[in-house]
Amino acid sequence: MKNTLIAPSILAADFANLQRDIEMINNSEADWFHIDIMDGVFVPNISFGMPVLEAITKHTKKPIDVHLMIIDPDRYIKTFADLGANHLTVHYEACTHLHRTLQAIKAEGMLAGVAINPHTNVMLLEDVIKNIDIVCMMSVNPGFGGQSFIEHTYAKIKQLKEIITRNGASTLIEIDGGVTSKNAAQLVEAGADVLVAGNFVFKSENPTQTIIDLKKTASL
């Protein structure tokens, strides 16, 4: 049985009760904390920044998966490492020298992730796939939680899986946006290893149980 990883997205948490929501994830079957950092330039929204991340990492007991939706992410690699990020994901569309950026992330001791927008062809990652620990495939346009899942994602996952296998890489495929128990099994069947879920978890009646159910549905 495949152990699909579940990464609840803090963007959908109750910011006035952040510690409560973090403890819920600590005590749940979730695997990672997914943290969305938005700059209002790369994406049309601003989420939260360093002081909030610093407060979060004081309480977290699971890996911190930081998803940077910012321009020129090289400026902040060291900052995020110092703040306790375990994985740092940058957007393909925001990096001029992606290979160099990936090296810099690894030099700080973090796993290196690359996120791709829905319009970005997975073939563009082939030449650096061996340098990527995690591909965060956006299944919505980045910037907001609670959007509907883009169906073309399944085809892209299959293509990416082929690239990973062909190159003998061990890259994880993470799916981000509109994940629910309705599409989870099909995503894993296509090749997904990690499912990010924001609204589906936090806006449910019983988030702890929702995580258990999602993990079960996604572990084929």
Annotated binding-site positions for substrate: 9, 67, 143-146, 176-178
The answer to whether 101 and 95 have CB atoms below 8 angstroms apart is yes
133 is catalytic: no
65 binds Zn ion (CB under 5 A): no
Report 121-160 residues binding ligand DX5 (CB under 6 A).
140, 142-147
Annotated catalytic residue within 31, 36, 65, 193 = 36
The answer to whether 46 and 11 have CB atoms below 8 angstroms apart is no
User: Near ligand DX5 by CB under 6 A, which window of 73-81, 86-94, 97-105, 171-179?
Assistant: 171-179
Shortest Cβ distance from residue 103 to ligand DX5 (Å)? Answer: 24
Shortest Cβ distance from residue 134 to Zn ion (Å)? Answer: 11
Q: What x-and-dash track marks residues 67-106 binding ligand DX5 by CB under 6 A?
A: x---------------------------------------
Measured N-to-C along each axis, helices 207-218 and 18-26 cross at an angle, to the nearest 10 degrees, of 40
> Which one of residues 36, 39, 65, 174 is an interface residue with Zn ion (CB under 5 A)?
36
Which residues fall in the annotated binding site? 9, 34, 36, 67, 143-146, 176-178
The answer to whether 110 and 135 have CB atoms below 8 angstroms apart is no
User: What residues have CB less than 8 Å from 159, skipping those under 6 apart?
Assistant: 122, 123
Taking the C-alpha atoms of residue 67 and residue 144, their distance in angstroms, rounded to an integer, is 13
Question: Amino acid letter at 71?
Answer: I
11 binds ligand DX5 (CB under 6 A): yes
> Which one of residues 73, 113, 177, 191 is an interface residue with ligand DX5 (CB under 6 A)?
177
Beta-sheet pairing, 5-8 with 87-91? unpaired
CA dihedral defined by 138, 147, 179, 69, rounded to 10 degrees? 30
Q: Which of residues 45 and 167 has its CB atom nearest to ligand DX5 in the complex?
A: 45
Shortest Cβ distance from residue 134 to ligand DX5 (Å)? Answer: 13
Q: Is residue 173 helix, strand or coil? A: strand
Nearest to 219 by CA among 198, 188, 196: 188
The answer to whether 159 and 145 have CB atoms below 8 angstroms apart is no
CA dihedral defined by 136, 142, 147, 149, rounded to 10 degrees? -40
Q: Which of residues 89 and 171 has its CB atom nearest to Zn ion in the complex?
A: 89
183 binds ligand DX5 (CB under 6 A): no
Active site residues: 36, 176
Residue numbers at the binding site for ligand DX5 (CB under 6 A): 9, 11-12, 34, 36, 67, 140, 142-147, 176-179, 196-200
